[in-house]
Amino acid sequence: MKAITIQSINLHTALLPYLAPFETSFGAETDKVALLVELTTEAGLVGWGECSIELWPGYGYETALMAQHILGEFLVPALLGVEIRDPREVPALLRRFRGNHHTRAGLEAAVWDAFAKTNDLRLTDLFASYAPPGHESQGAAVVGVSIGIQPSLEATLAVIQRRLDEGYGRVKLKIKRGWDIDVARAVRAAHPDLLLMLDANSDYRPQDAKHLTQLDEFNLLMIEQPLSHDDIYEHGRLQPQLQTRVCLDESVKTAGDLRLALQVGALGVLNLKPARVGGFSECLEIYGICVEAGLPLWVGGMLETGVGRAANLAFAALPAVNLPSDISATNRYFAEDISEPPFVLGADSTLTVPAGAGIGIEVQRERVEAAAARWRENYPYKRS
């Protein structure tokens, strides 16, 4: 493989309106804010990465201004002028700075894209080259759609019907205390065979275990992150009380967290979200652990722009990603994304990895500029 030397890094903070607000157990978001990392190599190739951040510290604690500060002051200077022979060297180059996984993941993603383009490889094939032997990219991923909390059961059923009509084969519903058993019952009654799962985003407490056993009758694929975002131990106490598989999202931030979670029986499925674990190098390590443990996994998302989604899709096309991933078509999120072409849902609820090198899509500079101007005009951003 050809090495790259990083010549310059430009940061663009973009604000892009969602087609509809996305509501979870901790509130509603109306816009995607993304920090886009544009990395140029000495050879003149450009790689793009996305820091998956949000308007306020809800799911993760990283906000746009935090990401700008951490990148601008610390992470970017640590990579400028550096030669990289393997993108998996990046975590060691940044090791003296702790935390800020979503931010560092975006920077690492730009390195991965530039490195793949330099070697004229699709990013998905570059990932596969570092996966266990025999794990070649499938060139496509089975995906589902994540549906926010709706104002009523009727509205929920209507959104689900629309997504099924669009071709999605797996539905994930956001739940919270007081919005759980009834909605699961209504959806299951309307769709007896639907691949259905729930995501609580940490809204429950250990004493809710008995309440959650009521979900067992609905034949759910899994329940995602029922308990605290930073807890593994209590999930280990909860899982044996449920027939429904527990999927961990928030509380697995490193490969070490996953080893611990496996040790204490805290999960039956993993949501592998590249931003949450700090980048694709850590993803590859976690992927290896899942293969070894026979743990089912899928790739999670954070309503990314095309840049982040393309990289997530490249990873989701690896063969041990064996449950539908949270990577939907562009028209699920935005009227107009910042890249072309849009992702379009294919047959059997799949998305196809673009054929081009790296992430395989074209960033539209004028749209990035417009979204950056929209950010500047709207900051400080008021939570709705």
Residue 38 found at the interface with Mg ion (CB under 5 A): no
Backbone angles phi, psi at 99, to 5 degrees: 65, -155
Nearest distance from C-beta of residue 1 to Mg ion, angstroms: 34
Between 59 and 204, CB nearer to ligand OSB = 59
Residues between 295 and 324 with contacts to ligand OSB, criterion CB under 6 A: 300-303
The entry of ligand OSB, Mg ion, none near residue 323 (CB within 5 to 8 angstroms by kind) is none
Q: Which residue is nearest to ligand OSB (CB)?
A: 301
Q: How many CA atoms lie within 13 A of 144 on its CB side?
A: 23
Between 286 and 302, CB nearer to ligand OSB = 302
Nearest distance from C-beta of residue 174 to Mg ion, angstroms: 8
Report the alpha-carbon distance of residue 290 to residue 296 in Å, rounded: 7
Residue 234 found at the interface with Mg ion (CB under 5 A): no
Q: How far is CA 26 from the centre of its chain?
A: 18
Between 197 and 209, CB nearer to ligand OSB = 197
Q: How far is CA 133 from the centre of its chain?
A: 25
Residue among 360, 351, 306 at smallest CA distance from 325: 351
Backbone angles phi, psi at 98, to 5 degrees: -95, 160
Report the alpha-carbon distance of residue 355 to residue 137 in Å, rounded: 12
Whether the bond between 77 and the residue before it is cis, its omega within 30 degrees of 0, is no
For ligand OSB, the binding residue among 146, 156, 251, 339 (CB under 6 A) is 146
Q: What are the structure tokens assigned to 144, written together?
A: 């589902």
Beta bridge partners of 339: 363
- Does 273 participate in catalysis according to the annotation? yes
Backbone angles phi, psi at 255, to 5 degrees: -60, -35
Site track 81-120 with ligand OSB (rule: CB under 6 A), x = hit: ----------------------------------------
Of 158-166, 176-184, 194-202, 352-360: span binding Mg ion (CB under 5 A): 194-202
Between 272 and 368, CB nearer to Mg ion = 272
- Does 253 participate in catalysis according to the annotation? no
Angle at 192 between CA 153 and CA 317, to 5 degrees: 95
| DSSP states of 266-315 | --SEEEE-TTTTTSHHHHHHHHHHHHHHT--EEE---S--HHHHHHHHHH
Of 99-107, 137-145, 172-180, 224-232: span binding Mg ion (CB under 5 A): 224-232
For Mg ion, the binding residue among 29, 199, 234, 337 (CB under 5 A) is 199
Helix (H) or strand (E) holding 48: strand 46-52
The entry of ligand OSB, Mg ion, none near residue 47 (CB within 5 to 8 angstroms by kind) is none
Largest CA distance in the chain: 60
Residue 125 found at the interface with Mg ion (CB under 5 A): no
Size of the site for ligand OSB (CB under 6 A): 11
Between 257 and 326, CB nearer to ligand OSB = 326
The residues that touch ligand OSB, with contacts defined as CB under 6 A, are 59, 146, 199, 201, 249, 300-303, 326, 328
The residues that touch Mg ion, with contacts defined as CB under 5 A, are 199, 224, 249
Residues belonging to the active site: 174, 273
